[in-house]
C-alpha cells in the first residue's frame, strides 16, 4: 500500500512533466543544437569564405617573401599574394594596403624585412588578428621560412633543409589499467567532458526542479490535501524519483539522437552539400560499458544527494522567488565541487583526484570522469560509493525532517536555529 501510493506520486510527477510543452521543446531542441554543432563548423570550413586573404609585403633585399608565400600557399586556409617593395616606401605601401583591409578586399598583410632573417622579427597587420588559428599558422610558416633561409645562407643543401623542416605528427594513446586502449588523448578528454556536461546539467537542472515541484505544491496550497492522505516520506520519495526519472528519460533520448547524428553525420552533412574528407568530422569516442555503469550509479546517487537537499530548500520557502534565493547555498555546494572536478583530468591518479572522488559532494561528477580516463582501484571505487551512500542517507534523513515540518509552514523563512529545531522535533 505505501509503495502503491509512492508509485501514484511518481507517475503523476513523470507524466505531467513529460507532457509539458517545455519538456518537449527542450528535448527536441537539444539534438537540433547538437546537430548544428556538427554541421556549422563543417559548413564554415567548406566555404571559400573561410580562407584568409593575405598580402605578403616583401621589403627584403633577397626576395625572402617568395619563400614565405610558397609556404603559405601550402595551407588550405591561406590565400597569399606576393608584393615586393623597397624598404624606403614600405610605409606608404603599407598605408594603401591598410585601406584595402578597410575595404575588405584583403584580410591583412604580412611584412617581412631583412630583420626577419637576422633578428627574427616580422609584423602582421590585419582585421583578423584575433584569430588564434590564422596567427599561429602564419607564425609557424614565417618561422620555418626564416629557418630555411638562414640555413641556405650558411651554405647548407636545400634538400637537407627541407628534410630538417619535416612536420611532426603527434599521436596520443591512453593507457588505462596497464592496457593500451584505442582511445586518443582527444577522445579521452571529449569523453570526460561529455560525462561532466551530462552530470552537471542533469543534476543542476533536475535537482532544482525538485525544489520547484515542492514549492509549487506549497504555493498552490494543494499540499495540505496531499498531506492528509500521503506520508511526507511518500511525497518526498515520489517527487525525487519522478523528477529523476524525467531527467534520465531526457538524457536517454538525447544520447540516442546524438548516436544517430554522429553515426550518420556524413549523410546528414551530404544533405547540406558538404563532403566530409577522410578523417574529418567529429567522432564519438567509444564509451566502454563499465564507464556507463559507473556514470549511472553516480548519477542516481548524486541525484538523491542533491535533489533531497533541493526538496528541503523548496519546503522551507513559501514562493518561487523565495526558493531561488534559498537554493543559492545548495547550488554553491554543487557548482564548486563540479568545477574542481576538472582537476581530475590533469592528474587522474594524483592526490587531488583521489580526494575529489572520495568527497561526497564532488564524487558524483569527479568519479565518472576519473573512471573514464584512468584505472581507479576497485577499493577506492567501493569506498567512494559507500561514503556517497551514507552521506545520501544522512542528507535524506535531515531533508525529510525539514520537508515534513516545512511543507505546512508559511510566512517568513526559518532561521538556521529554527531549522535545527525542525530537524530535532519532526
Partner 1 sequence: MPAASVVTVSSITKRYAGHTAVRELSLTVPAGTIYGLLGPNGAGKTTTIRMIMDITVPDEGSVTLFDESGTGRDFSSRIGYLPEERGLYKKMKVLDLLVFLAETKGVTRSHAKREATQWLERLGLGDWTLKKVNDLSKGMQQKVQFISTVLHRPDLLILDEPFSGFDPVNTQLMKNEVVELANAGTTVLFSTHIMEQAEKLCSSVCIIARGEKVVDGQLADIKSNHGGRHVIVAVADGLQRVERVLSDRTLVQNSDNYGQYAELELVESADPQQLLQNLVQTGAQITRFEIAEPTLNKIFIDLVGAGAIRPEALGENAHA
Binding site for partner 1 (CB under 8 A): 1, 4-5, 8-9, 12, 16, 20, 216-217, 220-231, 408-411
For the beta sheet containing 122-126, the strands, ordered from the edge strand earlier in sequence to the opposite edge, are 78-84, 52-58, 108-112, 122-126
Q: How many whole angstroms separate alpha carbon 304 and alpha carbon 402?
A: 16
Q: How far is the CB of 228 from partner 1 (least distance, A)?
A: 4
Q: Choose between 210 and 356: whose C-beta lies nearer to partner 1.
A: 210
Q: Choose between 11 and 259: whose C-beta lies nearer to partner 1.
A: 11
How many residues in the chain? 426
Q: How far is the CB of 34 from partner 1 (least distance, A)?
A: 29
Q: How far is the CB of 23 from partner 1 (least distance, A)?
A: 12
Q: How far is the CB of 410 from partner 1 (least distance, A)?
A: 6
Q: Choose between 138 and 243: whose C-beta lies nearer to partner 1.
A: 243
Q: Choose between 113 and 234: whose C-beta lies nearer to partner 1.
A: 234
Query: 85 is written with which cell numbers?
Result: 617593395
Q: How many whole angstroms separate alpha carbon 27 and alpha carbon 5?
A: 29
Q: How far is the CB of 41 from partner 1 (least distance, A)?
A: 40
**Given the C-alpha cell 531527467, which residue does it identify?**
247
Q: Choose between 178 and 416: whose C-beta lies nearer to partner 1.
A: 416
Give the closest residue to 200 by CA, choosing from 336, 361, 338.
Answer: 338
What three-state secondary structure class fits 195?
helix
Q: Choose between 4 and 169: whose C-beta lies nearer to partner 1.
A: 4
Q: How many whole angstroms separate alpha carbon 297 and alpha carbon 111?
A: 59
Q: How far is the CB of 405 from partner 1 (least distance, A)?
A: 9
Q: How many whole angstroms separate alpha carbon 265 and alpha carbon 75?
A: 26
H helices of 78-131, in order, are: 90-102, 114-118
Q: How far is the CB of 226 from partner 1 (least distance, A)?
A: 6
| DSSP letters spanning 12-80 | HHHHHHHHSHHHHHHHHHHHHHHHHHHHHHHHHHHSGGGSEEEEEEE--SS-HHHHHHHHHHTSTTEEE
Q: Choose between 17 and 67: whose C-beta lies nearer to partner 1.
A: 17
CB neighbour class for 104 (10 Å; exposed up to 12, middle 13-18, buried from 19): exposed
Amino acid at each position: 500500500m505505501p509503495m502503491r501510493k509512492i508509485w501514484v506520486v511518481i507517475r503523476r510527477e513523470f507524466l505531467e512533466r513529460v507532457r509539458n510543452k517545455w519538456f518537449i521543446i527542450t528535448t527536441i531542441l537539444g539534438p537540433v543544437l547538437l546537430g548544428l554543432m556538427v554541421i556549422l563548423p563543417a559548413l564554415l570550413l567548406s566555404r571559400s569564405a573561410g580562407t584568409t586573404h593575405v598580402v605578403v609585403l616583401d621589403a627584403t633585399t633577397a626576395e625572402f617573401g617568395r619563400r614565405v608565400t610558397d609556404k603559405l600557399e601550402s595551407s588550405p586556409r591561406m590565400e597569399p599574394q606576393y608584393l615586393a617593395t623597397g624598404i624606403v616606401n614600405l610605409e606608404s605601401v603599407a598605408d594603401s594596403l591598410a585601406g584595402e583591409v578597410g575595404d575588405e578586399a584583403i584580410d591583412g598583410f604580412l611584412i617581412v624585412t631583412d630583420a626577419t632573417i637576422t633578428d627574427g622579427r616580422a609584423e602582421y597587420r590585419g582585421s583578423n588578428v584575433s584569430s588564434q588559428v590564422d596567427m599561429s599558422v602564419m607564425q609557424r610558416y614565417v618561422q620555418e621560412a626564416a629557418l630555411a633561409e638562414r640555413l641556405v645562407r650558411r651554405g647548407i643543401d636545400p634538400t637537407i633543409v627541407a628534410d630538417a623542416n619535416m612536420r611532426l605528427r603527434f599521436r596520443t594513446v591512453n593507457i588505462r589499467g596497464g592496457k593500451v586502449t584505442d582511445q586518443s588523448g582527444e577522445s579521452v578528454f571529449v569523453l570526460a567532458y561529455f560525462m561532466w556536461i551530462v552530470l552537471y546539467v542533469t543534476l543542476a537542472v533536475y535537482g532544482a526542479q525538485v525544489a520547484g515541484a515542492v514549492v509549487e505544491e506549497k504555493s498552490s496550497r494543494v499540499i495540505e490535501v496531499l498531506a492528509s492522505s500521503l506520508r511526507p516520506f511518500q511525497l518526498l520519495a515520489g517527487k525525487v524519483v519522478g523528477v529523476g526519472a524525467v531527467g534520465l528519460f531526457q538524457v536517454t533520448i538525447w544520447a540516442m539522437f546524438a548516436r544517430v547524428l554522429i553515426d550518420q553525420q556524413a549523410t546528414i552533412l551530404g544533405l547540406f552539400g558538404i563532403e566530409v574528407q577522410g578523417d574529418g568530422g567529429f567522432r564519438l569516442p567509444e564509451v566502454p560499458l563499465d564507464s556507463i555503469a559507473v556514470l549511472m550509479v553516480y548519477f542516481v546517487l548524486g541525484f538523491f544527494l542533491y535533489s533531497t537537499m533541493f526538496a528541503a530548500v523548496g519546503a522551507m520557502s513559501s514562493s518561487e522567488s523565495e526558493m531561488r534565493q534559498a537554493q543559492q547555498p545548495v547550488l554553491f555546494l554543487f557548482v564548486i565541487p563540479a568545477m574542481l572536478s576538472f582537476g581530475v583530468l590533469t592528474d587522474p591518479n594524483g592526490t587531488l583526484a583521489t580526494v575529489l572522488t572520495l568527497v561526497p559532494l564532488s564524487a558524483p561528477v569527479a568519479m565518472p570522469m576519473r573512471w573514464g580516463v584512468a584505472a581507479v582501484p576497485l577499493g577506492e571505487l567501493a569506498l567512494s560509493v559507500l561514503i556517497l551512500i551514507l552521506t545520501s542517507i544522512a542528507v535524506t534523513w535531515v531533508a525529510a525532517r525539514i520537508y515534513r515540518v516545512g511543507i505546512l509552514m508559511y510566512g517568513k523563512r526559518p532561521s538556521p536555529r529554527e531549522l535545527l529545531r525542525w530537524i530535532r522535533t519532526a
